[in-house]
Amino acid sequence: MTDSTSSQLPIDLHPEHHLTSSAMLQDIVIGLSDGLTVPFALAAGLSGAVASSGLVITAGLAEIVAGSIAMGLGGYLAGRTEVEHYEAEQARERREVREVPDIERAEVDELLAEMGLSHETRRQAVAELTADSEQWVRFMMKYELGLEEPDPRQAPKSAITISSAYAVGGLIPLSAYFFTATPTQGLVWSAGITLVCLLVFGFFKSRMTGQPAVAGAIKMAVVGALAAAAAFGVARLVRS
């Protein structure tokens, strides 16, 4: 007699945990990394040229607004370009499946052969895959062209995420100037705060991407420090 509880197997015997928000994390990384470095370098450069923290704050806020809009627009256009490219290639594949089906079937057979399938298995697989034109096109898009269908809603999401991350990152180095009397004092505090944030950000970014965390943290901080030092040096040189 079969146990009724054992016959009802759970649907998910092996739950797998994957990173489903990789696109959002990538957008946050793009926005935050630029937001921490670009306004920091601008503020450092202005600190070497002006005597008023108010000017640094005004110029810094203007840069953050302009930079976040530009970064968000860039993210949106990149997302739309990906969608448009996929749609164009999909239309081309549909046309080829309709107009030259024998050539497309031969390409399916060749792809399956590269996967190691035997001749008999390939013959049956080609017949089943090409029986439905949409399934056929999806197979060619994925395995011939290496394209995954992008989410058409991702472009506006990327724009908002990148723009917001840039603004948050930009306010970190600029915040020191709100509480200091001179640009020089602001630069000292801004450099300390920003370098700590760059170290932490670089550490976790490298861990997420499987890179050496400590090396990634140091690299991120060094890039930010060099950018700020270059901007400060140029401003002092021009001022003199």
Decide if 214 contacts 204 (C-beta within 8 A): no
Q: Is the predicted pLDDT of residue 15 greater than 60, yes or no? A: no
Q: Is the predicted pLDDT of residue 236 greater than 90, yes or no? A: no
| Lookup result for tokens 């993210």 | 75
Q: Residue 142 is which amino acid?
A: K
Which residue, among 199, 198, 177, 197, has the nearest Cα to 188 in the 3D structure? 177
**What is the per-residue pLDDT for 5?**
41
| Lookup result for tokens 């990148």 | 162
pLDDT in tens, 22-81: 778 888 888 888 888 888 888 888 888 888 888 999 999 999 999 999 999 999 999 999
pTM above 0.85, yes or no: no
- Residue 140, by phi and psi: left (phi above 0), alpha (psi -120 to 50) or beta? alpha
**What is the per-residue pLDDT for 172?**
92
Alpha helices (H) in the chain, listed in sequence order: 4-7, 22-47, 53-99, 101-114, 119-129, 133-139, 154-175, 183-208, 213-239
Q: Residue 157 is which amino acid?
A: K
**What is the per-residue pLDDT for 7?**
40
Q: Is the predicted pLDDT of residue 2 greater than 60, yes or no? A: no
Decide if 93 contacts 142 (C-beta within 8 A): no
Decide if 140 contacts 107 (C-beta within 8 A): yes
- Secondary structure (DSSP) of 166-228: HHHHHHHHHHGGGS-SSHHHHHHHHHHHHHHHHHHHHHHHHHHTTS-HHHHHHHHHHHHHHHH
Q: What percentage of the chain reaches a pLDDT higher than 70?
A: 90
Q: Where are the domains of the chain?
A: 25-31+51-170, 180-234
Q: What is the mean pLDDT of residues 183-188?
A: 89
Q: Is the predicted pLDDT of residue 8 greater than 60, yes or no? A: no
**What is the per-residue pLDDT for 11?**
40
Q: Residue 155 is which amino acid?
A: A
